[in-house]
Each structure stands twice: as C-alpha cells, then as structure tokens.
Amino acid sequence: MDYLWSPWRYRYVSQAAPGNGCIFCEKPQQADHDALIVCRSAHCYVILNRFPYTSGHVMVVPYVHIATLEEASSDVLRELMELTALTTRHLRSVYQPKGINLGMNLGECAGAGVAGHLHMHVVPRWPGDVNFMTVVGETRVLPEDLSTTYDRLRKAFSSDA
C-alpha cells in the first residue's frame, strides 16, 4: 500500500523566505489569508499545504522552531495533538472524508520537506482518491482551488470562537 505513504513525499514548496529561511517561522508573520493560515492557537497554528495531496490537506505547526518531538514542551505537545484532533473534526464536517492520514516526517531522509521545523500533516482521504489525484511530476490535478479550501476551513475554525 505504497500510496498511503506518498503524502509525506511531497515537499512544502514556497518562495524563499527571509530571516532564518524557515517557511514555518515566516508564515505566521504574514496575514492569515496571505499565509493560508486557517487557525492560530497559543502554541501552534494550522496552515494549508500549498501543494495538497487532497483537498483539505493541512499542517499543524508549532510556532517554535524545533526539529524533534523531544525538544517540544508539554504545552506544545498537548496543543499539537489537540489542534490535530480539532482539525480532523472540521475536516470531517466540511469534506466528509472516509479516512484521514496523520503523519510527521522527522529528518530529511524520512521525507521532510522542511526538516528543521516540526509539522504534522493532516490529509483527508477517500476511496479512489489516487485516481483523480494523478501525479505527473510535481503537477497535480486538484478538485478544489486553495482559496475555496481556505474559505471553507477558515469558516469551520471560526465557528469555535
């Protein structure tokens, strides 16, 4: 079942960031809509993947620049999982997926696109989604554009406030 692991293969690609060059440190300094951040919490935020494996592919990311779980404080670890749980709840309500992949790539050889900054992938799945998500090089055919995904998930997260 190789395809189950393929989401983690895709890099989180973006324009070169200023500062320390870490995209996950830079994104929270931008406006939510520009950064595609759908939720900010105390220790972590939820951001759309610009090259989603499926519609609704997001990442839960701590603000602090750490590469491993063992560097994370208890507060960060707790919120990382709580926000992941909240994200799965909203994805289920907005997209009605039949399954969800959760995963972290720790280290470049494990497939991390941004190895220096911990992040949890959350990928909604449907039976047969590999068929309409055919990958040709780095180009994917997406069933929904990112701004639509952003608006839908932003609205779902806003309902918590």
- Tokens found for residue 22: 């870490």
| Selected range binding Zn ion among 2-10, 25-33, 87-95, 118-126, rule: CB under 5 A | 25-33
- Tokens found for residue 116: 């220096």
Tell me how far, at minimum, the Cβ of 134 lies from Zn ion, in Å: 32
Nearest to 43 by CA among 22, 65, 21, 70: 65
Interface residue with Zn ion, options 10, 12, 25, 91 (CB under 5 A): 25
Interface residue with Zn ion, options 10, 12, 24, 150 (CB under 5 A): 24
State which of positions 38-67 bind Zn ion (CB under 5 A): 65
Using rule CB under 5 A, residue 117 touches Zn ion: yes
- Tokens found for residue 46: 């939820």
Cα–Cα dist 161/43, whole Å:
16
* Cβ 84 vs Cβ 102: under 8 Å: yes
Q: Is 119 a catalytic residue?
A: yes
Give the residues lining the site for Zn ion (CB under 5 A). 22, 24-25, 65, 117
